[in-house]
Amino acid sequence: MIKKYFLQILVVLLLILIAWGLYLVGKVENGKNNPIQASIKQTEGDVTPIKLPTAENIDTVFFPVRNWIIPEPEILAKSAIVFNFKQDNTNNVLFKKNAEQILPIASLTKLMTAIIALENYNPEDIIKISKDSVDINGNNGGLINGEELKVKDLLYIMLVESSNDAAMALAGDGTKINFDTFIYLMNRKAQEMNLKNTQFVEPIGLDFLNQSTASEMAIIAKRALNVPLILEILKTPQTTIFSIDKKFIHNITNTNKLLGKIPQLIGGKTGFTDEAGGCMVTISNISNISDNYLITVILGSSQREDDTSKLIDWAQKAWIWQ
């Protein structure tokens, strides 16, 4: 008798469990009260129209708003970040790929070189170029041993043409600080900015021990771009530089091949070594919005311009901007 009642109870419990399971399946299929399923639908390209901000709810919406119909971009870079910032210091990370991975940064190093140079020299100060600077490996900018140039002009040659000898001259040929002190100041500045994964052993980027992350390079780029002279230089497609005595002329062309090709692009800095691969930092405008900017950082890419173009285009389309 006991066994009979026991079996009856088990059957009732089983029927209750089946009914409860069918109820849950029905809710999942209908997408009711199921944020996980809704998120999956958005990610997989659900074509349900996005409910845009209206006049009634505009004050409660924090822009930008992600448009999940647009998928994440596919890029070749080992590491990347898209960073949105406004003049009121509001910051948003829009995209990350291994953004905390420590990697060589090649000539992106020169952004910090420029920051330290302008913190220790007046743009009109004159520097005499040494043989050691001229003899440095890599892109040299055609500087002449013994010629004299303004700090401002050396910054143009270094940042537009990515000149290694201009970087060496700024770090070691000036009269106010020596080479070792300059490198010390670069690393101290990184510490002051709380960049725990960034280090410099020279001012150029040839050494693979000049390292950072995409996230921290975005912070360095933002600091550099807040210096008007640096921003003006990074915008420059090409220019001509004269030595103080006008004997030597340097015609320089920007290594940033995207200048003039992407309407929103303001400027940027490139880098490449065999160890680092292709590296690139850019700053661009948000379409039709003033005082609202994007910084993209690419590290370790075989297609740095293509990756950067994809990220800029994606950020314009995949986010709803006020």
The 3-state secondary structure of the chain reads: CHHHHHHHHHHHHHHHHHHHHHHHHHHHHHCCCCHHHHHHHHHCCCCCCCCCCCCCCHHHCCCCEECCCCCCCCCCCCEEEEEEEECCCCEEEEEEECCCCCEECHHHHHHHHHHHHHHHCCCCCEEECCHHHHCCCCCCCCCCCCCEEEHHHHHHHHHHCCCHHHHHHHHHCCCCCCHHHHHHHHHHHHHHCCCCCCECCCCCCCCCCCEECHHHHHHHHHHHHCCHHHHHHHCCCEEEEECCCCCCEEEEECCCCCCCCCCCEEEEEEEEECCCEEEEEEEEEECCEEEEEEEEEEEEECCHHHHHHHHHHHHHHCEECC
Which pLDDT value is given to residue 291? 77
Answer yes or no: is pLDDT of 46 > 50.
Answer: no
Which pLDDT value is given to residue 35? 35
Which pLDDT value is given to residue 48? 35
Which pLDDT value is given to residue 15? 55
Confidence of residue 29 (pLDDT cuts 50, 70, 90): very low
pLDDT tens per residue, range 51-64: 443 334 334 445 78
CB atoms within 10 A of CB 190: 20
Among 80-94, 210-224, 262-276, name the one with the lowest average pLDDT: 80-94
Torsion of CA 113, 119, 123, 127, to 10 degrees: -60
Among 84-93, 143-152, 234-243, 259-268, name the one with the lowest average pLDDT: 84-93
Confidence of residue 31 (pLDDT cuts 50, 70, 90): very low
Q: Is 140 exposed, middle or buried (0-12, 13-18, 19+ CB in 10 A)?
A: middle
The Cα-based distances of 85 to 48, 90, 151, 212, 294 in angstroms read: 30, 6, 29, 20, 6
CB-CB contact of 152 with 124 (8 Å): yes
CB-CB contact of 136 with 165 (8 Å): yes
Which pLDDT value is given to residue 292? 83
Q: Which of 215, 179, 203, 241 is nearest to 296 (CA)?
A: 215
Answer yes or no: is pLDDT of 40 > 80.
Answer: no
Among 27-36, 84-93, 107-116, name the one with the lowest average pLDDT: 27-36
pLDDT tens per residue, range 159-170: 999 999 999 999
Beta-carbon contacts of 134 under 8 Å, excluding residues fewer than 6 positions away, are 140, 143, 144, 145, 165
Which pLDDT value is given to residue 52? 40
Q: Which two tokens stand for residue 145?
A: 């041993």
C-alpha to C-alpha distance for 155 and 181, rounded to whole angstroms: 19
Answer yes or no: is pLDDT of 250 > 90.
Answer: yes
Which pLDDT value is given to residue 60? 40
b (16+ CB within 10 A) / e for 267-290: bbbbbbbeebbbbbbbbbbbeeee
Q: Which two tokens stand for residue 205?
A: 């980027």
Confidence of residue 225 (pLDDT cuts 50, 70, 90): confident
- Average pLDDT value over all residues in the chain: 84
The residues assigned a catalytic role are 107, 110, 162
Per the model's pLDDT, the better-predicted residue between 40 and 316 turns out to be 316
Answer yes or no: is pLDDT of 79 > 80.
Answer: yes
pTM of model > 0.85: no
